[in-house]
Amino acid sequence: MQSVDPATETRIDSFDRHDAAAVEKRLDRAQRGFETWRERSITDRQALLAGVSDVLEANESEYARTMTAEMGKPIEQARAEVQKCARVCEYYAEQAGTFLQDDRVAVEPGAKTFVAYEPLGPVLAVMPWNYPFWQVFRFAAPALAAGNVCLLKHAPNVQGCAEAIADVFEAAGFPEYALQTLRVADETVADVIADDRVRAVTLTGSVAAGRAVASEAGAQLKKTVLELGGSDPFVVLDDADLERAATVGCQSRTYNTGQSCIAAKRFVVHTDVYDEFVDRLRTEMAALTVGDPTDEETDVGPMARADLRDDLHDQVERSVAAGATVELGGEPLDRDGYFYQPTILTDVPTDAPAATEELFGPVAAVFEVESEAAAVALANDTEYGLGATVWTNDRGRGEAVAREIEAGCVFVNEFVTSHLELPFGGIKNSGYGRELAGEGIREFVNRKSVWVSDP
């Protein structure tokens, strides 16, 4: 497994895969450790999580540099990611006990009836490269607080991040078995899922990866949570604040170099404001600074791998061949590194790749619609259902439209992102299950109903 700097195309480091004996050792350690960890008090687990937050804050710059080097995230955004990881640890350090306390349920006089929330065991996490710290911490913090232990199979190109994350937990005082890395090939994941010691699986990644993991876990009757792709609509109605919508739309499409499941990808714009919005969006995206991700002034860095850049360009070219118009960009940058120009496509046919496929990079596809009803219909005309945005100066109208859109989260007049206090996840081909908030910590527990009567 090699880490390659996507800005310079130079090798950073290499990591040996774990052989069968090493995997066996980690699985055995996880199972044995779980029996001890589950008995630790919730207050102990919360205190250790608070310590993880401290470690992250103390070493923020170091971890940010690791992310930027391995997957090209602009350094300011990398620091923000470390900060968010610290906040999620603080959040569950404060709230886990409340979320996991027994729920008393009155059924019959004289009987004590309640629901207890108990850990499942070792949970395998198959994690992606695009948010190499955040995706892990938003799972691991609640899972560990609930009394589970974690096995982390990270993306091959961010193994430095994976090892750094394991070091964070160790530095905070977590036992070695609490979070272990598994450096294994994708084809080995099925064997790990099938192992009796693994009790559940969570995956953030592509639809194809989600189907494979869900199929294997389903065959073993094991719980899964899947957070998959997205083709989020960004709906601009005829009464929207166009200046703010264009500013936020640009940010939402290009943050993390557009490599985000909840990025705005399909801009659905009412015909009355279409021309002005496209002009404003073009101005915003043309002003972005593309370049060295270690430079504080950089807005858009390289894509994480050469194949990702090439696949994105292929989607753009096929969309243009189908009839789309390039309003801005449309080409890789002629320089070292895996850079792609911020791009705007208009006149996109509804059967073109820019309409039907997820564009995982800084390319915005803009669609013109004649009515609110047409906007909702186009927003829902996708296999995905992760996030969505609605822009209007009428709060009541915005809420009404939000209720009509098929997605796991809809934001009105706001940037779509995950919040600690709100459950996060999708529907349709964007996956199932929820992360964060109380719903997230209760995904990997046994909701045990208990009835106690007098003898």
Residue 227 known to be catalytic: yes
The C-alpha atoms of residue 159 and residue 164 are separated, in whole angstroms, by: 8
287-316 CB burial, b ≥16 within 10 A, e <16: ebebbbbbeeebbbbbbbbeebbeebbebb
Give, in degrees to the nearest 5, the angle at Cα 74 between 72 and 78.
95
Q: Looking at 261, 284, 368, 443, which residue is catalytic?
A: 261
Residue 261 known to be catalytic: yes
Q: CB–CB of 328/343 below 8 Å?
A: yes
Token match 């299950």: residue?
Answer: 433
The C-alpha atoms of residue 361 and residue 341 are separated, in whole angstroms, by: 9
The C-alpha atoms of residue 49 and residue 173 are separated, in whole angstroms, by: 9
3-state DSSP assignment of residue 279: helix
Single-letter residue type at 74: P
Both tokens assigned to 210: 């989600």
Q: Can you list the pairs that 161-167 forms with residues at least 24 positions away whose Cβ atoms lie under 8 Å?
A: 161/63, 161/66, 161/67, 161/70, 161/71, 161/132, 161/133, 162/132, 162/136, 163/15, 164/62, 164/63, 164/66, 165/133, 165/136, 165/137, 165/140
Q: Looking at 81, 227, 327, 443, which residue is catalytic?
A: 227
Length of the chain as a residue count: 455
What is the set of active-site residues?
227, 261
